[in-house]
Amino acid sequence: MARKGGDEPDVAWGNLGDWLDGQLDMHPHPLPPAPSRPTLEDLVERAAADPGRLAYYLCEEHPDSLASRLGIDAHHVTHLQLCWLPSVDRWDQGVADVAFAVGVGRAALDALLREVLARAAARYSSHGGIAAQPPPPRR
């Protein structure tokens, strides 16, 4: 049944779905499949290759070990790994921001990051490379 004054197809409302299915089937170029969304594990794996992300420095630590050390669950460890490395010139504020975002104590996170950055610096300097240096110790 067509509407007055329009170029709509003569289709009864009851079988409109059938008509639409037929129109979609006739499309000459099928739509590409929707891209799959990366999982959190995929994102952590990518972040572990980026020296600007905490995962780069925390990848040697087991997530369960990090969780127990920081007093958080494994889900929060994943989010911690995806965070940016705090800038040395704004270290205290950066650590506080990350600690707040992840729900961990600032002092515990500060100690952990200083430890893993010192290990990374020692590893790279022993090979003659330049590494991210931890900020100077607090006075």
- Output the six-digit token pair for 32: 């590409």
Residue 123 pLDDT: 80
pTM over 0.85: no
- Contact between residue 117 and residue 133 where contact means Cβ atoms under 8 Å apart: yes
Q: Give residue 7's pLDDT band: very low, low, confident or very high (50, 70, 90).
A: low
**Number of neighbours of residue 125 by Cβ within 10 angstroms:** 12
Query: Residue 67 sits in which domain range?
Result: 40-126
Q: Tell me the percentage of the chain whose pLDDT exceeds 70.
A: 68
The answer as to whether 118 is a domain residue is yes
* Mean per-residue pLDDT of the chain: 81
The answer as to whether 107 is a domain residue is yes
What is the arithmetic mean of pLDDT over 113-134? 74
| Alpha carbon 90 to its chain's center | 22
Is pLDDT of 4 > 60?
no
User: How many structural domains does the chain have?
Assistant: 1
